Chain A
Amino acid sequence: MKCIIEGNGIKVFGKAVHALSRIGEEIWLDPLEEGLAVRTVNSSQSAYACFFFTPLFFQKYIPDPDTRKDSDAVKCKLNIKCVLPLFRCVAWRERSVDRCEITITIPDSRVIFQFHCKHGITKTHNLGYQECEALQAVFPAHLCPNVLKAQSKLLGDIVVHFPISQEEVTLSISSYKVALKTFYEEEDGCIKGMNTELMLHPDEFDYFQVGEDSAVTFCLKELRGLLSFAESYGLPISCQFGIAGQPVSFTVKDMTLEAHVVLSTLTDPNHESQSQPAPEDDCPVKIPKTSTVEVSTSEDPMEADVCIAEVSTSEGPMEADVSIADGERVVSSQGSEVFNPSLHMRKMIQLHAPAEILPRPTFVPESALTTPITPATFKIRSLLFGAVLSDGGAGNTADLPSLVCGSDTEEDGGSQETQERARAATAASRTPTRFNITFNAILTLHTRGLLATETFNAFPSCGL
């Protein structure tokens, strides 16, 4: 991959790297045909961010200059501590740097950042990278019943009331108000620190849609990076979420770039104890209210890892029934068009080289059941992350996004359980599960939102 960023773009790219550094320790560079995706995930895999730069952003963008191997551009990851200092000195950068060239050279395994500055000075930084799977989140933002869109200044004004050290906040929505308040784990009685709550009227938002009254708790710290990015450029931010347990996604869009942050939310222990986890194979299943996400980034492209994903359903009037064995129909809670996953799957595959679909493991209902949650424990169920298998080397297989096991329950022994679950699932028959295709299709279609927006017109502002 080779790209050239000019002048102002360097500042934007630097800010993007800063925003990503608030979340994770490493950044994944994924040069796609449609643009450069720079992504990160945090260590507990409960927060994911992606900055996608279209070719318009760059003075020049060549995803795969190396046509020798007829392979796709290499995907790599870098330690963010190496990249961040390159974009640190804002004042110097603005004054002296004319352009920045970023090149990924495969033979040396190096990402080269070259800053061409005034007075003929060139600063070249060679960073070693680790080749890896691309990282992508599987999150059907269009299925979210609740959508808020606001100017970044409004969100900035809102979060300023919360101390920087405040980790978790709860965003609650109902038809007449939106509230954001600090979240503390319940201890006996007394609150330790200060509790802050801010209430806003729906009119303050540019776009307000409440499909279902809910309250989601997520980590505010990880969002601050995106908020300050959006505030610097005065871009509006849209927020999509559902009920507690479902991830919340924040999106910033511009002509030349798109930024997403997806955060997991705490599940509501009250609801969980009520739901009966007993999905059956053949009929539409009501899955318990947790969105367990198994995530992984497998280093081995050939290993077809297990996709286990659940969706939470609510017991309220708006339900998203997901049928597993039968019907490939997902009735969205908003009554939008029912979409046909396999149709999209085919379309998606046509985008890539014609190939066979790798068999996917069956969705094993039992294994997908969440670990028993006691009312006393809160668990952050992390998101669905997909490792998009690259076409590299083998070339022909249109590898589907796969979610690898590594559930992030905070419970001890959680990882062991999920490993066992994964093994069980892998051992199961490898027929494609439509359930997974559903999500995977949505995921992979995200890149320019092309197909997604064609179909899901009901949510023009949604879409990851």
Chain B
Amino acid sequence: MKFRAKIIDVGCLNHFTRVVNTVSKLSKACVLRLTCDHLFFVLSGKVASGGVSMWCELAQVNFFDEFQLEGVSADANEIFLELAPENLSRALKTAQNARSVKIKLTKKNCPCLTLAAELPSLSGVSRVVTHDIPVDVIPRRLWHDFREPQMPDYDVSIYLPPLKTMKSVVDRMKNLSNYLVMEANLNGEMNLKIETDLVSVTTHFKELGNPPWGEDGSQSTSASHRDSEFMAQTRLDIRKLQQFLTGQQVNPSRAMCNIVHNRILHLIFLHEDVSLQYFIPAVV
């Protein structure tokens, strides 16, 4: 098993760092899946993480100047590593003005992802800072836990309101209640509601637009017959939603969500070269 990659471009390095920062805000531990063309940060929806799951996909060619991978075996040319993204984030943080950043899989007492950054220095010789991030190699038999999630059979798919607005609304609502109901319909309307014994607050968003998934077959046929006024809703733990919104470091070019009535909220954020999917299960 071998992995070496190198980033030379400062812009790519900054962008990669921002992605890693976002992932680190969403989870304490996640799985990094490496294939020849992509990197994935995966969080599988286990009870430990409160049922949320995450799938973040990066095309390696957009970030790395060099990328060499030798997977577990010829027919399974992939590597799955469990790590704490915060470590990776911290290692990248101080390397932002590096001439080059090399990442490779090494073994020092235990498997590590070693990040070596060449920093500008006062003398002719560059300063080299090396970070060893301990990782756990995930054996092949467990790989099935970390497959790409299927697009759920959603009831409503809708674009999200501007993130900043949504975030400030959710922040305020968090002070009042632990649970938030998000509902939306195919008319581009979305409501965020909280209800307690003393007070109920609803924020209405209109004219958000609905993504045109319909024709590519990923949407279940029954949805097209659905009443466009029907509000599909999910009741969520507000902290999970807030954590997701707070962690975003870059404004996505597209932000949308799929709601499966009373089951799950599926958030999809698309940037030019990164896609992030986040699933928050509904609370009864």
Contact = CB atoms under 8 A, between A and B. Distances in A.
B125 A201 contact: yes
Interface in B100-152: 108-110, 112, 121-125, 127-134
B127 A204 contact: yes
A161 interface: yes
Interface stretch (B54-62, B86-94, B207-215): B86-94
Nearest to B136: A190
A66 interface: no
Given A163-B90, A196-B130, A189 B110 contact: yes
A198 B134 contact: no
B123 A161 contact: no
Contacts of A204: 121-123, 127
Contacts of B94: 160-161
A195 B128 CA distance: 14
Contacts of A161: 94, 129, 131
A192 interface: yes
A190 B45 CA distance: 27
Nearest to B131: A196
Contacts of B110: 189-191
Contacts of A82: none
Q: How many of chain B's residues touch chain A, expressed as a range?
A: 20 to 34
A200 B127 contact: yes
A186 to B, nearest CB: 9
Contacts of A195: 108, 112, 130-132
Given A160-B94, A191-B134, A194-B131, A201 B108 contact: no
A70 interface: no
Nearest to B123: A203
B42 to A, nearest CB: 21
Nearest to A198: B129
Given A161-B129, A195-B131, A203 B109 contact: no
A160 B96 CA distance: 12
Given A163-B90, A191-B110, A194-B87, A199 B132 contact: no
Interface centre among A163, A191, A192 (most CB of B within 10 A): A191
Interface string A171-209: 000000000000000000111111111111111100000
Contact of A196 (B122, B123, B127, B129): B129
Contacts of B123: 201-204
A163 B125 CA distance: 25
Best-surrounded residue of A191, A192, A194 (most CB of chain B within 10 A): A194
Given A193-B134, A201-B124, 20 more contacts: A154-B122, A160-B94, A161-B129, A189-B109, A190-B110, A190-B134, A191-B112, A191-B134, A194-B87, A194-B131, A194-B132, A195-B112, A195-B131, A196-B129, A197-B132, A199-B128, A200-B127, A203-B125, A204-B121, A204-B123
Interface of A: 154, 160-161, 163, 189-204
22 contacts: A189-B109, A191-B108, A191-B109, A191-B132, A192-B134, A193-B134, A194-B87, A194-B91, A195-B108, A196-B91, A196-B129, A196-B132, A197-B129, A197-B131, A198-B129, A199-B129, A199-B130, A200-B121, A200-B127, A201-B127, A203-B122, A203-B125
| Pairs of residues from A and B, 9 with the lowest C-beta to C-beta distance, nearest first | A203-B123, A190-B110, A201-B125, A195-B132, A198-B129, A197-B130, A194-B87, A161-B94, A204-B122
